[in-house]
Structure formats: C-alpha cells, structure tokens
Amino acid sequence: SYNAPPQETQTLPGPLWRLVYGSVVCGFGMAGIIIMIGVGGTFALMPIAQGSLINDILFFTAGTVAGRNGWLEGKLREQIGMPIAVLRLCSAVEGAILIALPPYITEIPILGIAWLVLAGVFCIDMSLVLLEWFQTHFNFQNRWMKILAEAAYTVYLIHPVIVVAVSALWVQVYESLGHKLEWSGFTSYTYIEGGGLTLGISWLCANVLVHLLVWPIAWFLRKAPGLRHIL
C-alpha cells in the first residue's frame, strides 16, 4: 500500500513576516487596487476600501493554512514571536494613529500612503490580538456560546444587510444634527465634523448596534421553517 509522505507543518509567521504581509500585501497591494479601480469604486458589488478584497483573500488563505497546521489548537501567545502585551500595545498605537491621521492627509498627501500601509499592518495585528484574547478568555462552551456558534454562519451571510442599514441610520442621525453630506454616487468625501474622534465613536456605536441586531435576527432565521436545515 502507498503511504503518502508526511506534510511539513508551517509555523505561524513571526513579527517580521507579519509586517511584510501587512505593509506590502494589505497596505501597498490594496492601495494599488484602490488606485486602479478608483476611490469609492466597487468590485463585484464589493465596496473597495482599505481592508477589503486583497485582505479578504489573504485572510481566507491564512485561515485554511491555520486549520491545516493547527495554529489555533495551540496557544497563540506562544506562537506570535513577541510578548502579547507588546502586540496589544502596537495594535492600540496603530489604531490611534489611524484615527488621528485623516485630517492631515489633505494638507500632506503623502500621509495618505502612510495611512494605507499602516492600516494594512493594523489589519494583521488587530486580528491576532482579537484571536488571542478570545482564545484565552472565551475558550469554553455554555448555553450562550452554543447559541452564538450555531448562529455564526447565518450572521456571516446576513451581516452586510445589517451593516448597510446601520450605516444609513448613522447618515440620518448625522444630518439631523445640522450637518450635510455631499454625495457622488454612493460615496461622500465630505469632511466629518470632529474628524477621527467622531468617526471612532461612530464606528464603536455602529459596531455595538450591528451586533445587537444581527445575532438575534440570525438566531430566529435559523429557526424558521425551510431555513433550519440550510443555515
């Protein structure tokens, strides 16, 4: 009988390789796509912005490689090549810079490229921070965890609708406060009063509201006749 040779196990990329993937692939790579398609453009109905398309492909690939090599079976904090506190600090600093930088990009355009590259690095670091934190603190199962796990696939399918609805609600609330957004198609380049701080708080509120809506809706959809055997 034929015995297939054992596959080599790949280890989780260390800090230097993660920096390369973040800056080159998610950063410069995504910047190139945005330049080719145009700011505010779409690809197969997907809005093209930092954190989309190339990032999706890279993270899908990373997920399959992680599953094949058992990265999530072991402790991530022991595989990342640096103290977890340092990774958390780097992610927090990157996020703070990304929030603070946009108001200065119109005056110093080169900062736009720096923002895109840093956003790519942040995508990698922030994802690892979240994965490690949930692995450390939520690696157990109870009734609520079971419900969330069962609804996760449906959440994945329906979350774009909820995100768009909550984003539209934000626009209505923002304009009801006396501000006006100028639109070019589906895109607005109007400066947001309060800059990065307003955007950061808005993102937090929208994120919380999306989760409060999408999980119960997903759970009820799974119970609907005809859908319970699919979702």
Question: Measured in whole angstroms, how far is the alpha carbon of residue 99 from the centre of its chain?
Answer: 15
pLDDT of residue 225: 81
Cβ neighbour number for residue 47 with a 10 Å cutoff: 14
Q: How far apart are CA 93 and CA 103, in angstroms?
A: 17
Kindly give the interhelix angle for 110-137 and 54-69, rounded to the nearest 10 degrees. Answer: 30
166 vs 231, more confident: 166
Summarize pLDDT for 127-151 with one digit per residue, the tens.
999 999 999 998 888 888 888 888 8
Radius of gyration over every alpha carbon of the chain, rounded to an integer in angstroms: 20
Summarize pLDDT for 89-124 with one digit per residue, the tens.
999 999 999 999 988 888 888 898 899 999 999 999
pLDDT of residue 8: 62
Q: How far apart are CA 193 and CA 139, in angstroms?
A: 41
Q: What angle do CA 153, 154, 159 make, to 5 degrees?
A: 105
Strands 42-43 and 46-47: antiparallel
Summarize pLDDT for 6-57 with one digit per residue, the tens.
556 678 999 999 999 999 999 999 888 888 887 777 777 677 888 888 888 8
